[in-house]
Amino acid sequence: MKARIVRIGNSRGIRIPKPLIEQTGLGEDVEIVVQGNALVISPVGRPRAGWGEAFRAMAGHGDDELLDEARPTPWDEDEWKWR
C-alpha cells in the first residue's frame, strides 16, 4: 500500500489506514525503529510482558531456587514481626 509523506511543522508524517491499524493492533503509542533502510512501526511493548510465563517455565525446570544462602540481618532478627 502506498502512502504520501506530509509536512507537520518541521516534521513529516503519514496517515495509516484504519484497516492496517486494526490488523496490526497499533494503539496511540507506537515504537519506531530503523531496520536497514526501512522504518518499522509496532505497538508499544508492555514492560515485563511474558514474565509470568517465564517464571512458570523456570519453576517447572527447578530454576527458581535462591542462588545464595539466606542470611538474616540484625533488622530481620530484632525488628521484623510476622503478622
pLDDT in tens, 41-54: 998 887 888 899 99
By DSSP bridging, strand 30-35 and strand 38-43 are antiparallel
Q: In degrees to the nearest 10, what's the CA dihedral of 65, 68, 71, 75? A: -80
Q: Which position has the higher pLDDT, 82 or 71?
A: 71
Looking at the structure, give the CATH architecture of the domain made up of residues 1-68. Ribbon (2.10)
This model's pTM is above 0.85: no
- Phi-psi map region of 72: left, alpha, beta (phi>0 left; psi -120 to 50 alpha): beta
CB 38 within 8 A of CB 29: no
**7-43 pLDDT tens trace:** 999 999 999 999 999 999 898 999 999 999 999 999 8
Mean pLDDT of 55-82: 87
Mean residue pLDDT of the chain comes to: 90
